Chain A
C-alpha cells in the first residue's frame, strides 16, 4: 500500500485492474485505492508478471503492506510456476543453441520452460536453473538412495563395524548421527537372536545350500601336501619385528596364496548358474567362519585381489569379528567367488569341503603338523599342511584343479611381500 499523501497511514483497496499472470510495465495502473481524499489509481513501480494478489478488494490495510507479488522480468521462473502454466507450451518460444544442448544432455523438455532472454527466448541459464532444481528435487537421485551420515557417525560405524544402512536415523533431514550408530551397536545383534532361538534358521540355510550342492554339483577332489617351513620361517621373522596388533596369522598366508594362484585359473573363480560358468574379474574371497555357539557363515573379503598382505589380514580380522558379532553386510554374504575353509584349527589333517553354490570351487586347509618328510633322499621332520580342492566337474577337470593346488603350494614355498 503506497503512501498517497504525507498524512495517509492506511488505505482501502477498491479494485484490481490487473490479475495474476498479467505482464505489467512500470507506470501501468494496477489497482484503485480509496483514501480520505478520494479514489486514487495506483501505478506499478516494477515491471514483470503479476504472480499473486495479496489483498482482497474492500480491505483496509496500513501503508507499507504488500498488495501483490510481481515477479520481475530478470528473475528466473521456478519450475513449479512453469509447470503450473502449461499453456506456455502451446506458444512456440525460441531457445539458444547452448540451451538446447544442455537440455538434451539433461533430458529436459524445453516446451514447458519460460525463457528470460530477449522476447522470452530460453537461455542456457534458464535450462541450468531448471536442471539444478530438478536435481535438488531429487529426480536424478531418488530420495533415500544415498546414505546420509555425519562424519562422526561414519567414523564410529567403521570402528564398531556397524552397517550404516541398517541404522535408524534421528538426525535432521534423515541423517544418521553418532548416537544412532551407538544405539545400533548396542542393539541385539542378529547373532544373539540366532542364539536365542533362530539357530535352527541358520541350520536350515546351511542344510539347504549343502543339500543343493551335493544334489546338483558333481564334485571332484584333489589333495596336495605342502611344506610350510619356508612360509612359517618367513612369518616368524616378519612377526618378530612387529607389535602384536600388526602380526599376521598363518591363515592369511593361505588366503593370500589362493588369491595369487587363482589369477591363472579364472574358471575356478566363478559363479555357475544353469550349467554355464561366469568367471569373475574380482576375487571376492569367501572365508568360512565358525560361530561361537555353533553354526557357520562364509562371507567374502571383497576385492581381495586389490589388497596387500597387511590389508588382507586386517580385512580378514574385521570380517571374522563382524561375522561373530552378527554384523555382516548383505553384499558380503552373496558375493563370494571362491571360498577357503581352514579346519586345521580343529586339528584335522585334511578337509574335503563342499562347494557353496553358485560357486564352483572351494579350497580347504588342514592343520599344520610336524611330520616325517623326504628332503634330498632323507627323512626329516617338517611342518606340513594338506591343501585340498573341491571343484565343480561341469566347469573344470582334475588336471586343472591339481595345477591350481600346485600353484598355491609354490606361492607358499616362496612367501614374499606383495
Chain B
C-alpha cells in the first residue's frame, strides 16, 4: 500500500500519468499543458517525463483542439483534452454536443468517441465572470455524454482513469478551489466506482447532496450541524450524468429531508433536477420541502466580498439545513 498525502492537483496528474503509461493510445493535449505545465499546473513536469508525443500544446482555439480530440478518438486514439475552464468550453460546445455526444447514435453504433475532456470549473479564486462559472448542468443535460465531478483527492485520480477507460465521451469537471486541497491518495488502489455516488458521512436527520467543489463546504457544514445536534448524511454525487438515483433515494428514505448544494445558478440547475427526481421517485419519503443552496443569479463578481456573497457557503448550507428540520429538532 502506498497511501500518502497528496494534493488534488497531484492526484489528477497521477491519473493522467498512469493512463498514458498504461495505454499507448492515450495522450494529453490542450492550451499550455506542455511547456507551461497547464494553466492550473496539473500537467507540470509531464512533458519532460513523457515526451512531446504524449503531452501536446495546442493553439488557442477550443473549437479546433476539442474537435481534433473528437477526430483522434474516432481514429482509434484515447485523447485526454484539457480545456482551461468551463467558460471557454462553450467555444467547443458544438464539437462536444453536436459531434462527440451524438456520433454513436448517428452512426447506428458504428462509431465510438472515447474522448476525455477535463476542465476546471467554479469560482472562489477571484477570477471573475470570465473564469468562474459552473456549467456542469449544461453537459449533464446531454444524452451521449457522461459527466464526472470528483470532490475528493482519491476520486480526482480515479475519475481520470475511469473516464479514459470508458468507450464514450466523458467530461471531467475539476473545481479550481480543490486543486490545492490535500487528502489521502492511494496510488495503487483499484479504480473506485466513480460512476456512482458516495455516502461520505452517514447521518439520520437530513441528506446533504452535493458534488465537486461544494463537497468540502458540505462536510464543514455537516460538522457544524452535528455540534448543534443535527445529524446530516453527506452524499457526494461524483457522477452528474447519469445520476445515481438509487443512492440518493436510499439516503432520503433514511433521513426524509434533503438539502442540495450546487454551485450552479438555481434556475435550470442540477439541484433542481435532483429535487424533481426525488419528488418523482420518493415523494412520500419527504417530511419537509427540499432546500437548494445555489449561487446567486448574477455573473460571478471579481471583488472578494461579493464573490463570497454569491457562492454557496458553509453558513448558507447550515441555514438551509435548519430550515428543513422541524422547529423542535
A170 near B284: Cβ-Cβ < 8 Å:
no
Within 8 Å by CB of A170, from B256, B283, B327, lies B327
Once A152-B256, A171-B326, A171-B327 are accepted as A-B contacts, the answer to whether A178 and B287 lie under 8 Å apart by CB is: yes
Is A138 in the interface zone, CB < 8 Å from B?
no
A152–B284 CA distance with the chains assembled, in angstroms: 5
Q: How far is the CB of B253 from chain A (nearest CB, A)?
A: 10
Q: Total interface residues on A, using CB and 8 Å?
A: 13
* Contact residues in A for B256 (Cβ distance below 8 Å): 150, 152, 178
Within 8 Å by CB of B286, from A150, A170, A172, A179, lies A150
Q: How far is the CB of B205 from chain A (nearest CB, A)?
A: 11
* Contact residues in B for A172 (Cβ distance below 8 Å): 288, 323, 326-327
Is A147 in the interface zone, CB < 8 Å from B?
no
Is B328 in the interface zone, CB < 8 Å from A?
yes
* Contact residues in A for B284 (Cβ distance below 8 Å): 151-152, 154-155
Q: How far is the CB of A181 from chain B (nearest CB, A)?
A: 10
Is A312 in the interface zone, CB < 8 Å from B?
no
A152 near B326: Cβ-Cβ < 8 Å:
no
- Mark interface residues in B289-327 (1 if CB within 8 Å of A CB, else 0): 000000000000000000000000000000000010011
* Contact residues in B for A152 (Cβ distance below 8 Å): 256, 284-287
Q: How far is the CB of A155 from chain B (nearest CB, A)?
A: 4
* Contact residues in B for A170 (Cβ distance below 8 Å): 326-328
* Contact residues in B for A151 (Cβ distance below 8 Å): 283-287
Main secondary structure of the interface of A (DSSP, over half): helix
A265–B328 CA distance with the chains assembled, in angstroms: 55
B287 near A177: Cβ-Cβ < 8 Å:
yes
Q: Total interface residues on B, using CB and 8 Å?
A: 11
A153 near B327: Cβ-Cβ < 8 Å:
no
- Mark interface residues in A145-167 (1 if CB within 8 Å of B CB, else 0): 00000111111000000000000
* Contact residues in A for B323 (Cβ distance below 8 Å): 172
Within A157-203, the residues touching B (CB, 8 Å) are 170-172, 175, 177-179
Within B60-118, the residues touching A (CB, 8 Å) are none
Interface centre among B283, B285, B327 (most CB of A within 10 A): B327
* Contact residues in B for A153 (Cβ distance below 8 Å): 287
A153–B287 CA distance with the chains assembled, in angstroms: 6
Q: How far is the CB of A145 from chain B (nearest CB, A)?
A: 20
A152–B254 CA distance with the chains assembled, in angstroms: 12
Q: How far is the CB of B319 from chain A (nearest CB, A)?
A: 13
A177 near B288: Cβ-Cβ < 8 Å:
yes
A150–B284 CA distance with the chains assembled, in angstroms: 8
A153–B257 CA distance with the chains assembled, in angstroms: 12
Residue of chain A at shortest CB distance from B328: A170
A179 near B283: Cβ-Cβ < 8 Å:
no
Q: How far is the CB of A162 from chain B (nearest CB, A)?
A: 15
Within B17-35, the residues touching A (CB, 8 Å) are none
B326 near A179: Cβ-Cβ < 8 Å:
yes
Q: How far is the CB of B54 from chain A (nearest CB, A)?
A: 54
B288 near A150: Cβ-Cβ < 8 Å:
yes
6 pairs, A vs B, C-beta closer than 8 Å: A150-B288, A152-B286, A170-B328, A172-B326, A177-B288, A179-B326
Q: A151-B285, A152-B284, A177-B326 are in contact. List 19 more A-B contacts (CB 8 A).
A: A150-B287, A152-B285, A153-B287, A154-B284, A155-B285, A170-B326, A170-B327, A170-B328, A171-B287, A171-B288, A171-B326, A171-B327, A172-B326, A172-B327, A175-B288, A177-B287, A178-B256, A178-B287, A179-B326
Which residues of B are interface residues toward A (Cβ below 8 A)?
256, 283-288, 323, 326-328
Which residues of A are interface residues toward B (Cβ below 8 A)?
150-155, 170-172, 175, 177-179
- Going nearest first, the 5 A-B pairs with the smallest beta carbon separation are A155-B284, A152-B287, A150-B287, A151-B286, A151-B284
